[in-house]
Amino acid sequence: MSNINYSLYFISQMVRNSFNNLKHYYNEIAPMIKSEKERIIENNKKLQEDLKKASKEEQYQYYDYYADDWYMSKNVEISFCNSILVSIYTIIEKYFNIICDELESEKSLPIKYTDLNGQGVTRAKMYLEKLAGITFDTKESKFLSGINAVRNIIAHEDGELYDISKLNLGKIKNITEQAKGIIIKEVEFYDETINTSQKIPSKIEIHLEFIEYCLEQGILIFKSLISKIKML
């Protein structure tokens, strides 16, 4: 076994272990979140029937209670998903960088990935493409640029999109076309200069379906990448 294949074997094992540990944690918590959402939905259906016989005051009390219950459940899910998403990105970034280092050493490449402009997964991907000759297909590229943009918005802006560039918003929209469970919330903005209202992006929300998609795609990305390197 060549040195690079030997290294790739251990990298693939570490990647698998990292994702399996994260999936185990996800599988422990996600069912409880899903169960709580289902409970609230079922309670709402039942109480909607009861409210037909309730007074106006009783209806208002119910709506206040239900809104608090629903938003608490929703916020727990979003906070959990934000945490898992950042962890998924960290795994991808860590092992992309390790692979770049291995290729630089084994292939005697002229520069290190840290010599390139940029940072994170975007920089590592650029190094793999430009220096190592790796080709990522359209779906892989959209996933990597999308999860990079989503992670940055969550980590640095708490999900708020008011100051996001058109480029990064486009990257997020690309990934929303591939996966469920990721929502771009909008607010209505009145522009006095042109005397009209328009909707602008305000916040990004990620839910359990999106995390399941990212866990699956993260594993597939590494399987594909390691296979491509072996063919160099």
Q: What's the pLDDT tens digit per position in 148-201?
A: 999 999 999 999 998 889 899 999 999 999 999 999 999 987 677 777 888 888
Tell me how far the alpha carbon of residue 118 is from its chain's centroid.
20
- Tokens 């100051």 map to which residue? 163
Task: Give 7's contacts (C-beta < 8 A, 6+ positions apart).
Answer: 102, 106
3-51 and 56-106 helices cross at what angle (nearest 10)?
180
For the chain, the structural domain boundaries read 3-230
pLDDT band for position 145 (50/70/90)? very high
Q: Report d(CA 84, CA 15) in Å as an integer.
A: 16
Summarize the confidence of residues 8-31 as an average pLDDT: 96
The encoded tokens of residue 217 equal 């795609």
Q: Pick the closest to residue 215 from 5, 49, 20 (CA basis).
A: 20
Condensed to tens digits (0 to 9), the pLDDT of residues 5-18 reads 889 999 999 999 99
In this predicted structure, the answer to whether residue 65 has a pLDDT above a threshold of 70 is: no
The encoded tokens of residue 137 equal 């297909």
Contact yes or no for 187/227 (Cβ under 8 A)? no
pLDDT band for position 45 (50/70/90)? confident
Provide the strand spans (E) within the chain: 182-191, 196-206
138-157 and 208-230 helices cross at what angle (nearest 10)?
130
Contact yes or no for 197/189 (Cβ under 8 A)? yes
CB atoms closer than 10 angstroms to residue 49: 8
CA distances from 35 to 77, 147, 207, 211 (A): 11, 27, 14, 17
Q: Report d(CA 102, CA 118) in Å as an integer.
A: 20
Q: Report d(CA 41, CA 47) in Å as an integer.
A: 10
DSSP annotation of 180 reads S
* DSSP-derived 3-state class of residue 186: strand
CB atoms closer than 10 angstroms to residue 99: 25
In this predicted structure, the answer to whether residue 1 has a pLDDT above a threshold of 60 is: no
